[in-house]
């Protein structure tokens, strides 16, 4: 059965069906997913419960996998696979961690608007999140379309920001919540800052995107205070409700999004209840390097 798409929002996001992502993909099926991602930026696949190995095998069709913040060795990991990122409130025993644990406090930064691993170069492309266990309320994931945000940016601001660059730092979001004393000098140096333009052109669609997010901490060539205020203004615009969509999770959902043209954030839930999701993130590669099974 070919890939079928049902739009979920006027400007982006679609529910996809017709494929079993746990089996090997033909090249035409892989191409159809990439085409849909170029158009919609976020795809929801229902009823796709995956093991860690199945999710990793599927994700690797789209490029090498990026471990993100696992590279700083912040806390003991539940998952042995370096390529699999644990998005949960659980400890190694599978139970919810205390609210003051380092993992929980760090994870609260996921409730800030961000693009996964924008603090790394080369760029990352897709993230994939699989729902394993869910709390009784909350824990939704919200998305914002950065292409629509650019299109709607007033012409004066478009002229102002095009050509500007921002510095993205891995721990900026965490330090916003926790301060810099909660991280060792070695952890702070593990992922040095990178520079990205405030306006990026998506390689698949050719559309411009306003590349804002909480990992951006300063604008090059601009005073620190002035640059921070501009970043805050751009982030407020980039997350306007007109181009925002909220996903309410069901067990077995697999959600794929493109970090080059979207922002996302998690929403609050009862930290005493189990919330377990598994994430993979791809390094960006040319389309011709994506490999069907």
Q: According to the 3-state scheme, what is the secondary structure of the chain?
A: CCCEEEECCCCCCEEEECCCCCCCCCHHHHHHHHHHHHHHCEEEECCCCCCHHHHHHHHHHHCCECCHHHHHCCCCCCCCCCCCEEEECECCCCCECCCCCHHHHHHHHHHCCECCCCCCCCCEEEEEEEEEECCCCECCEEEEEHHHHHHHCCHHHHHHHCCCEEEECCCHHHHHHHCHHHCCHHHHHHCCCEEEECEEECCCCCCEEECCCCCEEEECCCCHHHHHHHHHHHHHHHCCHHHEEEECCCCCCEEEEECCCEEEEECCECCCCCCEEEEEEEECCCHHHCCCC
CA dihedral sign of residues 106, 191, 166, 258: negative
User: What pLDDT band is residue 176 in, cutting at 50, 70 and 90?
Assistant: confident
* Closest residue by Cα to residue 129 from 284, 264, 281: 281
Whether residue 57 has pLDDT greater than 90 = yes
Non-local (6+) Cβ contacts of 149 within 8 A are 209, 210, 212, 237, 238, 239, 240, 243
* Closest residue by Cα to residue 277 from 140, 99, 111: 140
CA angle 63, 198, 11 (to 5 degrees): 70
> Could you tell me which residue, 17 or 179, shows the higher pLDDT?
17
Whether residue 1 has pLDDT greater than 80 = no
Q: What integer pLDDT is reported at residue 289 of this predicted model?
A: 87
Counting residues of the chain whose pLDDT is more than 70, the rounded percentage is: 95
- CATH number of the domain that residue 189 is part of: 3.60.130.10
pLDDT digits (tens, 9 = 90+) for 114-130: 999 999 988 999 999 99
> Could you tell me which residue, 192 or 254, shows the higher pLDDT?
254
CA dihedral sign of residues 183, 114, 196, 219: negative
Q: What integer pLDDT is reported at residue 69 of this predicted model?
A: 79
Q: What is the mean pLDDT of residues 270-286?
A: 96
**Pair 56, 84: CB distance under 8 Å:** yes
- Residue 209: both structure tokens together: 């995107």
pLDDT digits (tens, 9 = 90+) for 134-174: 999 999 999 999 999 999 999 999 999 999 999 999 888 88
Q: What integer pLDDT is reported at residue 79 of this predicted model?
A: 67
pLDDT digits (tens, 9 = 90+) for 179-213: 755 677 787 777 889 999 999 999 999 999 999 99
pLDDT digits (tens, 9 = 90+) for 78-87: 666 778 999 9
Range of the domain at 170: 4-289
Give me the count of residues in the chain: 293
User: If you average pLDDT over every residue of the chain, what do you get?
Assistant: 93
- Residue 254: both structure tokens together: 């697999």
> Could you tell me which residue, 183 or 20, shows the higher pLDDT?
20
**Pair 129, 87: CB distance under 8 Å:** yes
Rounded to whole angstroms, the Cα distance separating 238 from 280 reads: 24
Q: What integer pLDDT is reported at residue 72 of this predicted model?
A: 66
Q: What integer pLDDT is reported at residue 14 of this predicted model?
A: 98
Please, what is the end-to-end C-alpha distance for the chain in angstroms? Answer: 17
Whether residue 75 has pLDDT greater than 60 = no
Q: What integer pLDDT is reported at residue 78 of this predicted model?
A: 65
Report the number of distinct structural domains present in the chain. Answer: 1
């Amino acid at each position: 059965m070919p890939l079928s798409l049902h739009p979920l929002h006027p400007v982006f996001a679609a529910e996809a069906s017709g494929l079993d992502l746990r089996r090997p993909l033909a090249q035409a099926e892989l191409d159809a997913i990439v085409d849909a991602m170029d158009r919609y930026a976020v795809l929801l696949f229902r009823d796709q419960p995956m093991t860690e190995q199945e999710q990793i095998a599927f994700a690797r069709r789209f490029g090498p996998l990026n471990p993100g913040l696992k590279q700083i060795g912040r806390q003991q990991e539940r998952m042995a696979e370096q390529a699999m990122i644990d998005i949960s409130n659980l400890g190694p025993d599978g139970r919810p961690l205390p609210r003051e644990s380092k993992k929980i406090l760090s994870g609260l930064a996921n409730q800030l608007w961000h693009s996964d691993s924008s603090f790394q170069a080369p760029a990352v492309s897709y993230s994939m999140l699989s729902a394993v266990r869910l709390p009784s309320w909350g824990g939704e994931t919200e998305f914002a379309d950065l292409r629509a945000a650019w299109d709607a940016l007033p012409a004066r601001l478009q002229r102002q920001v095009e050509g500007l660059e921002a510095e993205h730092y891995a721990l900026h979001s965490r330090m916003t919540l926790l301060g810099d004393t909660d991280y060792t000098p070695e952890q702070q140096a593990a992922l040095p800052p990178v520079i990205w333009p405030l306006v990026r052109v998506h390689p698949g669609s050719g559309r411009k995107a306003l590349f804002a997010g909480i990992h951006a901490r300063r604008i090059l060539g601009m005073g620190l205070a002035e640059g921070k205020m501009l970043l805050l203004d751009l982030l407020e615009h980039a997350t306007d409700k007109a181009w925002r969509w909220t996903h309410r999770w069901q067990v077995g959902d697999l959600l794929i999004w493109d970090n080059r043209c979207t922002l996302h954030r998690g929403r609050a839930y009862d930290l005493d209840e189990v919330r377990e999701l598994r994430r993979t993130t791809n390094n960006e590669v040319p389309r011709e390097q994506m490999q069907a099974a």
